[in-house]
Amino acid sequence: MVEWSDSERNTIASVWGKINVDEIGPQTLARVLIVYPWTQRYFGSFGNLSSASAILGNPKVANHGKTVLNALDKAVKNLDGIKGTYSELSQLHCDKLNVDPDNFRLLADCLTIVVATAFGSAFNPAVQATWQKFLSVVVAALSSRYF
């Protein structure tokens, strides 16, 4: 099981508490689609993804970004049982959505970058380390039902 120090728990709660999910979710997903364009293949029904500005202005991207970020709340509130928490979501992504689990890491990377742009120097190395540890546990949990 993953061990969290008190300081890590505080850091995660603190960062999450300051994040505006409705803003950060859309930005994160948009960046994934722009920086790693092959990920657009999962969103064939989203309409116009033909340029960075189209992606940034696309309401379906924005909505879906919010959905994804809101789902991270589960993990923040269940640090001691992230794997169990995401068991169903993992199966969904594997069996129904057929998402290559590599993409979870890409999304996590973009989220880290968005958090860094929002927090500036407050996103210091210790905070970064804790945040990346949290996201890698989430990524592992989401990948856990893939065979």
| Residues at the contact surface with another protein, assessed by CB under 8 A | 27, 30-31, 34-35, 52, 55-56, 109, 112-113, 116-121, 123, 125-126, 128-129, 132
Please give the Cα distance from 72 to 75 (Å, whole number): 5
Other beta carbons within 10 Å of 4: 17
Which of residues 90 and 130 has its CB atom nearest to another protein in the complex? 130
Shortest distance, position 8 Cβ to another protein, whole Å: 12
Please give the Cα distance from 78 to 81 (Å, whole number): 5
Shortest distance, position 141 Cβ to another protein, whole Å: 20
**Closest by Cα among 127, 107, 125, 108 to 12:** 127
Which of residues 20 and 78 has its CB atom nearest to another protein in the complex? 20
